[in-house]
Amino acid sequence: MSQYNAPLNDMNFILFDTFKVQEFWQENAHLSESIDVDTAMAILAESAKVTEEAIAPFSRAADEEGVKFDSGDVTTPASYKDSYNVVAEGGWIGLAGNPEFGGMGMPKSITAMHEEMMCSADLAFALYPGLTAGACLAINAHASEELKELYLPNMYSGQWTGSMCLTEAHAGTDLGLIKTKAVPNDCGSYDITGSKIFISGGEHDLTENIIHLVLAKLPDAPEGSRGISLFLVPKINVDAQGNLQEPNAVSCGSIEHKMGIHTSATCVINFDGAKGYLVGEVNKGLAAMFTMMNYERLLVGLQGLGAAERSYQNAKLYAMDRGQGKGVERMTDKDCDPIVVHPDVRRMLLNMRAMNEAARAFGTYVSIQLDVAKFSDDKEQAKLADAKAQLLTPIAKAFVTDTSLEGCIAGQQVLGGHGYVREWGQEQLVRDCRITQIYEGTNGIQALDLMGRKVAMDKGATLNSIIDEIKAFASDNNSVNASLMSELNKAADLLKETADTVLAEAATDKNAIGAASVDFLHLAGYVLYAYMWAKMVVAAESLEGNEALAESKKLTANYYFARLLPRIHSLKAQIESGAELLYTFSAEQV
C-alpha cells in the first residue's frame, strides 16, 4: 500500500473556515482555556505524523499476519506493540477524556479528525485505542467516583484497554434476549456468568489488563431490555491502588475468522463468576451504554471515511502513474497516457473525493452538535444540539459507511486487476470497511433508529429544524451561487415532502417506517452532503491564501450537485412505493 498523507489542509479548512469552530471555543468557558486554533492545528499535525509514520506503513503486513489464538491467548502482529506504545505515550487515547482523571478534554470536532486519520492508517489497529476511549466515556458518565479514579487514568494513558461486551450468540440486535447473569456477592460487587461473542479487543497482548464493560441481568431483573445492567469487569483484578492482583474469572474461548479487520481480535469472552462492578443504576444498563452510543456510532462513520480516504489516495496515485490507452487530449507524448485522462476514471475518483470531503464536513457538523450539547452553558442551545446530534448520528454511521464502501470499491476498481491483488492494499480497505456497515448496530438498525425514533417520535420536529436551517442557509447565500443554492433548497423540500409522506403512511401502517428507513436515511444523507458542499462553497468564496483549495471546493461542489445529488430522485420513488408491497409476499415467498 502506498504512503498515507493525512488531509490536513482539508481538515483545517473544514474546521476553521467552513464551520469556524473556534468561535464556539472562544465564547465557551470550558473550552476557551484548553483549545484554540493554533493548539488544534498543532494537535492535528502531530496526529498526522503519528498516523503517517507509526501506523500506516505497517497496516498491509499486519493484515497478512493477523491475530493468532492459542489456548486463550491472543497475539497481535509484531508491529502493533510499537505502534500502540506511540499512541498510548502520545496521550491520544485520552484526547477527549475527562481532565480530572488525566484526559485532555478536547472537543469532538478535533478528536473526530484524529479518529479519521487513525482509521486511514489502519482501521483494525484503531479499534484498540478507539474502543478504550469509548469505554472511558461510559465509565466517566455513569460509574462511581471510586471506579473512575481507579480505572480512568490507566485507560486514558493506554496502560489498560477497554472492551464492550454486549452481543450473545442468540442476542445481537435484540439485546433484551441476553442471558448473562449478575449475582450480588458479599463484597458489594457481582459475580458475572455468561458468554459474549463478537467482542473486539476482548483479549490481546498489547496491555497488561483489559477492562470489560459487560451487559448482564440480575436474578430478579424485569424481562427484556428493561432488565439489563452494566458492569465493569477487569480481566485482572485490581487493588484499591490500581495494582494488578489475581486474574479474574474471564477467559477468551476463541476468536472469529473474518472477512477483514484481521488484526482486530474478535473474541468469544467467557465470564465464569467473574467479579464485576455495577456501572450506573441497576436495570439501566442499556441507557448507560446509549450515552456513549452517539460517539461510538460517529466513530464508526469515521472509520468508513478513513478507509475511503486511503482508498482514494491510492487510486489517485495509481491513476496518475499507470499508463494505458490515450486521452482525447493527450497528457504525454508516450504510447499511452496515465489513466486519469479517461472520463470514467475521473468519474470514479471525483465521486470518491466529493463523497469523502462531504463526509469529513458532515462528521464535523455532527461533532459540533455533540460539543455544543456537552459544553454549552445555554441550556436551550444544548438541548437543540443534542436533539440534532441524536438525529444525525445514525446518518453519520450508516450513510457514511454505506457510501464509503462504495468509495472503497471504486478505489479498487481504478486499479483493475491490481486492485484485486492483496499487495496493493485496495482490497483490504474494502474488507475492512465492510464491517463498519455491520457492527455498532447494522445500518438497517441505524435507519430504523433514524426514522422510527429520531424522526417519527417528535413528529418530524427536529428534522424540520434541520431542514429549516438548510433552507435559511440557501436563502442567505443565494448571492454566492444562485443555481446551487436553488438546488439545495429544492433538495431540502424534497426531503421534507418525503418525510411527511412516510409519517402519514405510518399512521395507518406500522411497517411504513421500516419499509422506507434505509432509502430515507440515504436520501437524508445526500441532502445533508449537499448542505455540506454548499457550506464549503461559501467558505471557499471568502478563503484567503489558498486559491487552489478554494477552486477545488467550488468545482467539486458543482460536481456533487450534478452527479451525486440526483440519486435523491430514485430514493424518493423507492420510498413512495410503500410498505404494503413488501407484505404482498408471504414469508416463504420472499
Q: Which of 130, 194, 419, 525 binds its own copies (CB under 8 A)?
A: 419
- Write down the least CB distance from residue 495 to its own copies, Å: 15
Cα separation, 517 vs 105, in Å, equals: 36
In 29-173, the DSSP E strands lie at: 68-70, 73-75, 160-165
Residues 6+ apart with CB under 8 A from 162: 131, 132, 133, 134, 135, 136, 139, 155, 201, 210, 211, 212, 213
Interacting positions 543-582 with its own copies (CB under 8 A): 551-552, 555, 558-559, 562-564, 566-571, 573-574, 577, 579, 581-582
Footprint of its own copies on residues 475-514 (CB under 8 A)?
Answer: 510-511, 514
Q: Which stretch binds its own copies (CB under 8 A): 1-9, 46-54, 172-180, 496-504?
A: 172-180
Could you give the 3-state DSSP secondary structure of residue 543? Answer: coil
Of 233-292, binders to its own copies (CB under 8 A) are: 256-260
C-alpha cell at 128: 484498540
What is the pairing mode between strands 229-234 and 266-279? antiparallel
- Residue 440: active-site member: yes
Q: Which residues pair with 196 in a beta bridge?
A: 269
Choose, by CB under 8 A, the member of 443, 477, 481, 498 that binds its own copies: 443
381 contributes a contact to its own copies by CB under 8 A? no
The only residue of 76, 390, 393, 517 in contact with its own copies, by rule CB under 8 A: 517
Q: Which of 131, 286, 409, 495 binds its own copies (CB under 8 A)?
A: 409
The DSSP line for 151-193 is HHHHHHTTSEEEEEE--BTTBSS-GGG---EEEE-TTSSEEEE
Of 68, 55, 186, 66, nearest to 129 by C-alpha is 55
Radius of gyration in angstroms for the set of CA atoms belonging to the chain, rounded to a whole number: 24
**Options 357, 440, 487, 505, the catalytic residue:** 440
Q: Which of 112, 117, 121 is nearest to 83 (CA)?
A: 121
CB of residue 63 vs its own copies: minimum separation in angstroms? 11
In total, the chain counts a number of residues equal to: 590
Q: Is 417 in the site for its own copies (CB under 8 A)?
A: yes
322-351 binders of its own copies (CB under 8 A): 323-325, 328, 331, 335-336, 338, 340-350
End-to-end CA distance of the chain: 42
Burial class (CB in 10 A: 0-12, 13-18, 19+), 508: exposed
Of the pair 99, 566, the CB lying nearest its own copies is at: 566
> Could you tell me how many residues of this chain bind its own copies (CB under 8 A)?
95
For its own copies, the closer of residues 50 and 506 by Cβ is 506
Which one of residues 42, 208, 482, 583 is an interface residue with its own copies (CB under 8 A)?
583
Q: Among residues 42, 78, 177, 504, which is the contact residue for its own copies, using CB under 8 A?
A: 177
Write down the least CB distance from residue 513 to its own copies, Å.
8
Look at residues 230, 63, 258 and name the one whose alpha carbon lies nearest to residue 137.
Answer: 230
* Contact stretch for its own copies (CB under 8 A) within 71-79, 214-222, 360-368, 424-432: 424-432
CB of 338 to its own copies, least distance (A): 7
Distance of closest approach, residue 556 Cβ to its own copies, in angstroms: 8
Neighbours of 159 (CB within 10 A): 14
What burial class does residue 314 get, using C-beta atoms within 10 Å of its C-beta: 0-12 exposed, 13-18 middle, 19+ buried? buried
Q: How far is the CB of 33 from its own copies (least distance, A)?
A: 40
Q: How far is the CB of 299 from its own copies (least distance, A)?
A: 18
State which amino acid sits at residue 372: V
15, 214, 293, 430: which one contacts its own copies (CB under 8 A)? Answer: 430
**With binding defined as CB under 8 A, does residue 453 bind its own copies?**
no
Which residue do the cell numbers 451487559 mark? 215
> Given candidates 106, 358, 518, 540, which one binds its own copies under the rule CB under 8 A?
518
Angle between helices 567-576 and 482-506 (to 10 degrees): 10
Nearest approach in angstroms of CB 336 to its own copies is 6
Nearer to its own copies, 28 or 428 (CB): 428
Q: Candidates 91, 105, 444, 460: give the one binding its own copies (CB under 8 A).
A: 444
Residues 17-76 that bind its own copies (CB under 8 A): none
Report which of 493, 512, 490 is spatially closest to residue 581, judged by C-alpha positions: 512
Among 221, 438, 480, 494, binds its own copies (CB under 8 A): 438
Using the rule CB under 8 A, which residue among 4, 13, 198, 231 binds its own copies? 198
Q: Which of 274/515 has CB closer to its own copies?
A: 515
CB of 446 to its own copies, least distance (A): 11
Q: How far apart are CA 232 and CA 553, in angstroms?
A: 47
Copy the grid coordinates of residue 536: 464549503
Q: Looking at 18, 437, 477, 489, which residue binds its own copies (CB under 8 A)?
A: 437
| Identity of the amino acid at 419 | G
Reduced to 3 states (helix: H, G, I; strand: E, B; else coil), residue 68 is: strand
Q: How far is the CB of 434 from its own copies (least distance, A)?
A: 7
CB closer to its own copies, 446 vs 489: 446
Cell triple for residue 235? 480481566
Q: Using the rule CB under 8 A, which residue among 439, 529, 531, 533 binds its own copies?
A: 439
Within a 10 A sphere around the Cβ of 336, how many other Cβ atoms? Answer: 15
State the catalytic residues: 440
